[in-house]
Amino acid sequence: MPNIHKYHPPGSSGTALLDEPRDDVVLEVRVARGRFEAADGPFNSYSRNVDYDESGGAIEQIQYQLAIPWFRWAFALLVRRALKTPHHDGRQPWWAPSDRLDARSSTVLGTLAAAAVLTGYMGSLLGQTLTFVADEFDLSRTAQGVVSATGRLGTLLAIAVVALADRRGRRRVAVISTGAGGFSALITAAAPDVFTFAAAQVLMRTFNAALVTVILVYAVEEMPARSRAYALSLVGMASALGAGMVLWILPFADSAVWGWRVVFVPPAMAFLLALSFHRNLPESRWFDRGSSTARLSDRIGPLLVLCAVTFAIAMYLAPADQFRNEFLRDERGFSAGQITLFVLSTATPGGIGLAVAGRIADTVGRKIVLATSTVLGLGTLSAVFNTSGVLMWVLALLAAIASSGLLPSLGVYRGELFPSKIRNRAVGWISVSGVAGAITGLAVTGWLSDRWDSIGSVIALLWIGPLLGLLIALVTLPETTGRTLTDLNPEDAQPG
């Protein structure tokens, strides 16, 4: 158990406040003179003892254990430094959410982040390995397109799975989807032919999409009102880590014609994660809340708005991502090594923007973050495809940072605006609209870029879609920052 031992000389600054309960990353309660325990905070256990020596100096000792599974190492140093610099005004550290997390919320968030690593990894597998799969199964480009499109059917089929989360519980679906997703990846690794491969990928992407949905709903339901966007930011960074891990293992795909199969083996770790879900993840406190008669048709307005906005943004982002390497290689003459350097050096700092955007979305507002990401972030990204040289590198870096706010702003809306009994289904249908937008954007970009002989011009044209979507969102969606779920969905105040 971590231990902080600190001596305060007589008359040193802060000595007078040692006997006062602190209110920062931890909310203390005095249990005896010089003895404090945690009334609230991200700890499984916490105690602070203050003893005085004969000279008037104070010996302060803090013992604690963080309630963060899987990612405790990432916060250990930050929490330790925060505990060494106490505050008594409720102020949270710069890296923490606006609302202090308790042990339950911290445990849930750590578990969700681990699940997001898995979803990020599995979500990237097909796109990264398909070209190698094509070599073994002798697939034409047309056949590759069919396999890729077939895999996307999983998002639609996931609607049936996430409907169970609204009826039978979020936790059960999370455990099943995690284990089934890992099992499907192993089936893919052993696929004897392309038909088995495609079927296994439909299965894997079905459960992966279901798990992504449940993760978002859990983050919205289990976090405090001013910490929901922050939670989605951390989940987004964890998902990006998982997607990046595919690239760490991808060189095995080049080692032999069957080497791509190795890349599908790591999701076997999903069985350990499913066990962690079973042990550490409580059922959402909102699962049995709300009217059992709630229907999607009752919230058709917000649903259609979010579907339209998500469609427009996906229609832009999918081709911007899919055709980026093609643009760099064919229109800017980049080698494979230069493309890797460009992507890593310009996209990695996006994590900074994600963390900052989450904090702003929780304290200032969702709409300002959504507007900034759409106008400045995507506008700068459009400029990347129409510039070259050093300016292109600088703009790509700025675009990665500025556009990262789309997740904590728009993502939170997807869960906040619907009552608990239909929340998973609403998120599922919005995800389907995103897939439809991605397919449309890829088709339009491929067709127009061949005729215009330019990818950049098409990307700039597609930016109109997110701008129109932003206008619709600003006019029709409410500002939800700091509002409780029962305030946004009064029917959730009723018992289930």
Residue 496 predicted with pLDDT over 60: no
Residue 453 predicted with pLDDT over 90: no
* Residue among 107, 121, 161 nearest 425 (CA): 161
Whether residues 121 and 240 fall in one domain: yes
Whether residues 277 and 355 fall in one domain: no
Residue 239 falls inside a structural domain:
yes
User: Mean pLDDT over residues 444-473, rounded?
Assistant: 90
* Tokens 């894997």 found at: 204
Q: Report d(CA 25, CA 234) in Å as an integer.
A: 18
Query: Would you place residue 18 in the very low, low, confident or very high pLDDT band (cuts 50, 70, 90)?
Result: confident
Domain termination site, one of 251, 270, 289: 289
Would you state the structure tokens that stand for residue 33, as one six-digit string? 């003179």
Residue 428 falls inside a structural domain:
yes
In sequence order, the 6+-apart residues with CB closer than 8 A to the CB of 399 are: 346, 377, 378, 380, 381, 383, 384
> Mean pLDDT of all residues in the chain?
88
Residue 163 falls inside a structural domain:
yes
* Residue among 107, 108, 90 nearest 99 (CA): 90
Whether residues 240 and 108 fall in one domain: yes
In contact, 299 and 418? CB cutoff 8 Å = yes
Q: What is the pLDDT of residue 152?
A: 78
C-alpha 230: how far from its chain's center? 10
Whether residues 414 and 320 fall in one domain: yes
* Burial readout 185-221 (b: 16 or more C-beta within 10 A, e: otherwise): bbbbbebeebeebbbbbbbbbbbbbbbbbbbbbbbbb
Domain termination site, one of 255, 289, 323: 289
Q: How many domains does the chain have?
A: 3
* Tens-digit pLDDT profile for residues 338-389: 877 888 788 777 778 888 899 899 999 999 999 999 999 999 999 999 998 8
User: Mean pLDDT over residues 382-411, rounded?
Assistant: 92
Q: Report d(CA 397, CA 350) in Å as an integer.
A: 8
In sequence order, the 6+-apart residues with CB closer than 8 A to the CB of 66 are: 2, 42, 43, 44, 72, 75, 76, 79, 106
366's enclosing H/E stretch is helix 366-372
Residue 275 falls inside a structural domain:
yes
Residue 293 predicted with pLDDT over 80: no
CA of 313: how far to CAs of 101, 216, 266, 318, 437, in Å? Answer: 32, 18, 31, 8, 8
Dihedral sign (CA 104, 106, 112, 115): negative
In contact, 120 and 242? CB cutoff 8 Å = yes
Ranked by mean pLDDT, the top range of 12-26, 248-262, 298-312, 449-463 is 298-312
Whether residues 303 and 435 fall in one domain: yes
Q: What is the pLDDT of residue 291?
A: 56
Would you state the structure tokens that stand for residue 418, as one six-digit string? 């619907």
- The amino acid that residue 178 corresponds to is T
* Tens-digit pLDDT profile for residues 162-219: 888 888 889 999 999 999 999 999 999 999 999 999 999 999 999 999 999 999 999 9
Q: What is the pLDDT of residue 490?
A: 84
Residue 418 falls inside a structural domain:
yes
Q: Report d(CA 421, CA 334) in Å as an integer.
A: 50
Residue 256 predicted with pLDDT over 70: yes
Domain hosting 441: range is: 290-482
Whether residues 193 and 272 fall in one domain: yes
Whether residues 283 and 402 fall in one domain: no
To the nearest 10 degrees (0 to 180), the angle between helices 464-476 and 455-462 is: 10
User: Mean pLDDT over residues 78-101, rounded?
Assistant: 90
Instruction: Residue 258: give its domain's CATH number.
Output: 1.20.1250.20
DSSP state of 224: -
Domain termination site, one of 256, 273, 289: 289
Query: Would you place residue 336 in the very low, low, confident or very high pLDDT band (cuts 50, 70, 90)?
Result: low
Residue 92 falls inside a structural domain:
no
